[in-house]
């Protein structure tokens, strides 16, 4: 969980290793000032939601990266470090022992350095829930306090009394202050695959409600991570907690001798099934002061090492609108490079024009990127928009459809190239060694301006294109010649025919072109919409002209 100032300041020690840290912003001083203000306002919005309402509007990864980015931008401008989060009311109930929070180590070298200066270190899961202080007097639970600002919090006693996971009476009549995490029970949860699954938000939302039903209460677990005034020895503290009923603490707290053991524990939490969401590990030095000396700030004797970031904050450098073979317009965000899970990401597809319009993303905006299936970059949302909005003109969907751009024309470059790439691909003619790069070179040389121009090229035409020498020209001529005997349905695919003409139909252009929509509908699997598309295809004047040319060149099935 996030902690108020000064905890996050400690983060900045390792800020340069965050996955989405950008360079100093460019532009006029007015623009930089405006962008700084935009980021500060967005952070204030996130802080208010978190500290006032218990809502996490963004992941810790994105929050930390945004805070680090703000510090960098201010340093770039020669300004003082950013102010801490605003002091929102934390609650009226004082913690008998402050909740300290944790400094976050940035990477393996930082963890190794911390370990090298300590002995008798233990590791625990950093469970992704909400922190709570439990106060027992002579064994009875008398108070439960939300974390708040670490000094005071809200009175959660009545809510916590309804949680079966929290003992209302200890088996021994101790006065005890326990600090721990309320978490949402999950089944075989794999953090690397699904992230936090909204687990913390579920608990936070339930603890903010006045009522809590039995099923919800049963799903909330408790992990006690410290006993501030317990036995001095870590082993004795864990044994004592187990006697009091907190067996999980002993079972999940392990002594570690070095970096390798810590890394293995963290990897297991990240990849192996767990009953809760985690966001890293906590390292605790066994010896530490008694609770009376604790402060609401990160101590030297405990730190966190978080899981690899699953999300990255990225600045949009530009927006490109790609038009596909069938006329679908796909916006692609060009990003200033960010690193996520070892991959450098420079672009992300939005999938549809409607999605871009809904988000209204422009250059200078900051977006949240994640990896789907650990491989494909995906937009998760917009973190904040640039103050100075650049105008963008998107292609008009009316201009692009399944029968547009059958030849090269202004505005048709993308769709025409996509048509050629499809034509040469395995779904159509399967032109060996011919892909978008080859077509792009031929287009730029003026050798190809419609879908069939390549069939009339000779060696001199090919060698005029950039990067095509005598050997490559001979290979292309051989590939072009080899496909002349492809069957009629494959040629229909190459021209962009709608699905429905490839099975059990006449291999004759004239018969297919004469069909009405009603006749097409009688074919298995063809409904009214596809039937209309087939009629449009076979009667389109440019398609008809291409078919005539194929017939003149002796391609089987076309009119001669």
510, containing H or E segment: helix 509-513
Q: Is 344 in the same domain as 478? A: no
What would the mean pLDDT of 492-514 be, rounded to a whole number? 84
Range of the domain at 337: 311-392
User: For residues 557 and 560, what is the distance between their CA atoms, to the nearest angstrom?
Assistant: 9
User: For residues 371 and 195, what is the distance between their CA atoms, to the nearest angstrom?
Assistant: 11
Q: Quick one: pLDDT at residue 12?
A: 32
The owner of tokens 């929509």 is 517
Neighbours of 259 (CB within 10 A): 16
What pLDDT, in 10s, does the model give residues 190-227?
998 888 888 888 898 888 888 888 999 999 999 999 99
User: For residues 315 and 35, what is the distance between their CA atoms, to the nearest angstrom?
Assistant: 12
Domains: count for the chain: 5
Q: Is the pLDDT of residue 129 over 60?
A: yes
In a domain, 397, yes or no: no
Q: Is the pLDDT of residue 317 over 50?
A: yes
User: For residues 476 and 479, what is the distance between their CA atoms, to the nearest angstrom?
Assistant: 5
In a domain, 323, yes or no: yes
Q: Is the bond leading into 51 cis (omega within 30 degrees of zero)?
A: no
Q: Is the pLDDT of residue 373 over 80?
A: no
CATH number of the domain within which 426 lies: 1.10.150.20
* Start-end of H helices in 447-508: 459-463, 470-482, 488-495
- Give the domain-ending residue among 340, 367, 392: 392
In a domain, 2, yes or no: no
Q: Quick one: pLDDT at residue 77?
A: 83
Q: Are 62 and 380 in contact (CB under 8 A)?
A: no
User: For residues 312 and 441, what is the distance between their CA atoms, to the nearest angstrom?
Assistant: 36
User: Which pTM does this prediction carry?
Assistant: 0.75
User: For residues 150 and 158, what is the distance between their CA atoms, to the nearest angstrom?
Assistant: 20
Q: Is 452 in the same domain as 506? A: no
Q: Which of 394, 381, 386, 380 is nearest to 363 (CA)?
A: 386
CATH number of the domain within which 166 lies: 3.30.470.30
Range with lowest mean pLDDT among 34-38, 68-72, 502-506? 502-506
Q: Which of 178, 232, 13, 252 is nearest to 109 (CA)?
A: 13
What pLDDT, in 10s, does the model give residues 384-422?
999 888 889 999 999 999 999 999 999 999 999 999 999
DSSP codes, 324-375: -TTS-EEEEEEEEEEEETTEEEEEEE-SSHHHHHHHT--TT-EEEEEEETTT
Burial class (CB in 10 A: 0-12, 13-18, 19+), 32: middle
Q: Which of 314, 416, 410, 322 is nearest to 365 (CA)?
A: 314
Structure tokens at 250: 């002993």
Q: Quick one: pLDDT at residue 5?
A: 32
Neighbours of 137 (CB within 10 A): 12
Q: Is 291 in the same domain as 345? A: no
Average pLDDT of every residue of the chain = 89
Q: Quick one: pLDDT at residue 238?
A: 96
CATH number of the domain within which 334 lies: 2.40.50.140
State residue 93 phi and psi, 5-degree precision. -100, 120
Confidence of residue 86 (pLDDT cuts 50, 70, 90): low
Q: Quick one: pLDDT at residue 429?
A: 96
Cβ neighbours for 496, distance < 8 A, ≥ 6 positions apart = 325, 326, 402, 403, 406, 419, 422, 537, 543
Q: Is 156 in the same domain as 242? A: yes
In a domain, 285, yes or no: yes
What would the mean pLDDT of 429-458 be, rounded to a whole number? 95
Q: Is 421 in the same domain as 514? A: no
Neighbours of 438 (CB within 10 A): 23
Q: Is the pLDDT of residue 13 over 70?
A: no
In a domain, 1, yes or no: no
Q: Is the pLDDT of residue 9 over 50?
A: no
Q: Quick one: pLDDT at residue 20?
A: 43
Name the percent of the chain lying above pLDDT 90: 72
Q: Are 243 and 230 in contact (CB under 8 A)?
A: no
Establish whether 126 is a catalytic residue: yes
User: For residues 401 and 542, what is the distance between their CA atoms, to the nearest angstrom?
Assistant: 14
Q: Quick one: pLDDT at residue 295?
A: 94
SS3 128: coil
What would the mean pLDDT of 47-58 be, rounded to a whole number? 78
Cβ neighbours for 357, distance < 8 A, ≥ 6 positions apart = 394
What would the mean pLDDT of 541-553 be, rounded to a whole number? 96
- Give the domain-ending residue among 306, 334, 360: 306
Q: Is 211 in the same domain as 287? A: yes
SS3 163: coil
Q: Is 149 in the same domain as 252? A: yes
User: For residues 52 and 58, what is the distance between their CA atoms, to the nearest angstrom?
Assistant: 15
Q: Are 102 and 3 in contact (CB under 8 A)?
A: yes
**Sign of the four-CA dihedral 293, 294, 297, 301:** positive
Structure tokens at 331: 């916006």
In a domain, 86, yes or no: no
Q: Is 102 in the same domain as 245? A: yes
Q: Is the pLDDT of residue 47 over 90?
A: no
**More confident: 192 or 317:** 317
In a domain, 85, yes or no: no
Confidence of residue 88 (pLDDT cuts 50, 70, 90): low
Q: Quick one: pLDDT at residue 294?
A: 95
What would the mean pLDDT of 298-307 be, rounded to a whole number? 95
Q: Is 137 in the same domain as 250? A: yes
Q: Quick one: pLDDT at residue 57?
A: 86
User: For residues 243 and 255, what is the distance between their CA atoms, to the nearest angstrom?
Assistant: 19
Q: Is 478 in the same domain as 493? A: no
User: For residues 58 and 60, what is the distance between their CA atoms, to the nearest angstrom?
Assistant: 7
Cβ neighbours for 191, distance < 8 A, ≥ 6 positions apart = 269, 270, 271, 274, 277, 278, 279, 307
Distances in Å between the alpha carbon of 275 and those of 171, 252, 264?
25, 12, 18
What would the mean pLDDT of 78-83 be, rounded to a whole number? 82
Confidence of residue 501 (pLDDT cuts 50, 70, 90): confident
Neighbours of 231 (CB within 10 A): 13
**More confident: 333 or 523:** 333
- Give the domain-ending residue among 240, 273, 306: 306
Q: Quick one: pLDDT at residue 524?
A: 86
Q: Are 499 and 481 in contact (CB under 8 A)?
A: no
User: For residues 305 and 59, what is the distance between their CA atoms, to the nearest angstrom?
Assistant: 16
Q: Per the residue annotation, which of 104, 126, 306, 463 is the catalytic one?
A: 126
Q: Is 263 in the same domain as 132? A: yes
Q: Quick one: pLDDT at residue 10?
A: 32
What would the mean pLDDT of 261-275 be, rounded to a whole number? 96
Q: Is the pLDDT of residue 11 over 60?
A: no
Q: Is 479 in the same domain as 519? A: no
């Amino acid at each position: 969980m996030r902690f108020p100032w000064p905890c996050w300041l400690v983060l900045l020690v390792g800020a340069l290793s965050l996955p989405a840290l950008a360079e100093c912003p460019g532009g006029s001083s007015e623009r930089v000032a405006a962008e700084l203000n935009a980021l500060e306002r967005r952070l204030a919005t996130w802080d208010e939601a978190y500290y006032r309402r218990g809502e996490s509007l963004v992941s810790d990864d994105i929050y930390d990266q945004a805070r680090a980015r703000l510090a960098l931008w201010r340093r770039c401008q020669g300004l003082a470090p950013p102010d801490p989060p605003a002091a929102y009311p934390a609650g009226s109930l004082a913690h008998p022992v402050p909740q300290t929070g944790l400094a976050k180590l940035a990477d393996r070298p930082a963890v190794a350095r911390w370990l090298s200066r300590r002995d008798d270190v233990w590791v625990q899961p950093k469970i992704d829930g909400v922190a709570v202080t439990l106060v027992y007097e002579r064994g009875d639970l008398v108070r439960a306090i939300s974390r708040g600002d670490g000094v005071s919090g809200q009175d959660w006693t009545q809510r916590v009394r309804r949680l079966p996971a929290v003992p209302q009476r200890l088996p021994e009549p101790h006065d005890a202050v326990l600090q721990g995490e309320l978490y949402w029970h999950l089944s075989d949860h794999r953090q690397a695959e699904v992230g936090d699954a909204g687990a913390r938000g579920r608990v936070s939302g339930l603890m903010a409600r006045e009522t809590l039903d039995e099923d919800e209460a049963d799903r909330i677990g408790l992990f006690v991570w410290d006993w501030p005034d317990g036995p001095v020895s870590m082993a004795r503290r864990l044994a004592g907690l187990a006697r009091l009923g907190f067996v999980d603490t002993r079972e999940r707290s392990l002594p570690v001798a070095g970096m390798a053991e810590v890394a293995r524990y963290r990897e297991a939490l990240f990849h192996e099934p767990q009953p809760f969401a985690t966001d890293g590990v906590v390292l605790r030095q066994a010896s530490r002061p008694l609770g009376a000396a604790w402060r609401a700030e990160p101590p030297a004797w405990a730190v966190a090492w978080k899981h690899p970031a699953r999300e990255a904050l990225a600045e949009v450098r530009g927006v490109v609108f790609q038009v596909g073979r069938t006329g679908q317009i796909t916006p692609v965000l060009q990003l200033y490079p960010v690193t996520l899970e070892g991959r450098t990401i420079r672009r992300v597809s939005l999938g549809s024009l409607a999605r871009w319009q809904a988000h209204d993303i422009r250059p200078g905006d900051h977006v949240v990127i994640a990896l789907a299936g650990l491989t494909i970059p995906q937009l998760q949302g917009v973190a904040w928009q640039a103050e100075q909005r650049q105008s963008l003109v998107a292609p008009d969907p009316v201009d692009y459809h399944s029968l547009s751009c059958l030849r090269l024309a202004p505005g048709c470059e993308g769709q025409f190239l996509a048509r050629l790439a499809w034509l040469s691909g395995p779904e159509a003619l399967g032109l060996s060694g011919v892909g978008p790069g080859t077509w792009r070179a031929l287009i730029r040389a003026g050798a190809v301006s419609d879908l069939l121009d390549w069939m009339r090229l000779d060696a001199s035409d090919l060698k005029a294109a950039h990067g095509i020498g005598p050997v490559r020209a001979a290979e292309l001529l051989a590939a072009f010649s080899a496909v002349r005997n492809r069957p009629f349905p494959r040629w229909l695919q190459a021209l962009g025919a709608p699905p429905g003409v490839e099975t059990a139909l006449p291999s004759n252009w004239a018969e297919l072109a004469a069909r009405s929509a009603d006749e097409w509908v009688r074919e298995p699997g063809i409904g009214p919409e596809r039937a209309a598309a087939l009629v449009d295809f076979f009667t389109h004047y440019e398609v008809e002209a291409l078919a005539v040319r194929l017939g003149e060149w002796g391609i089987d099935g076309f009119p001669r």
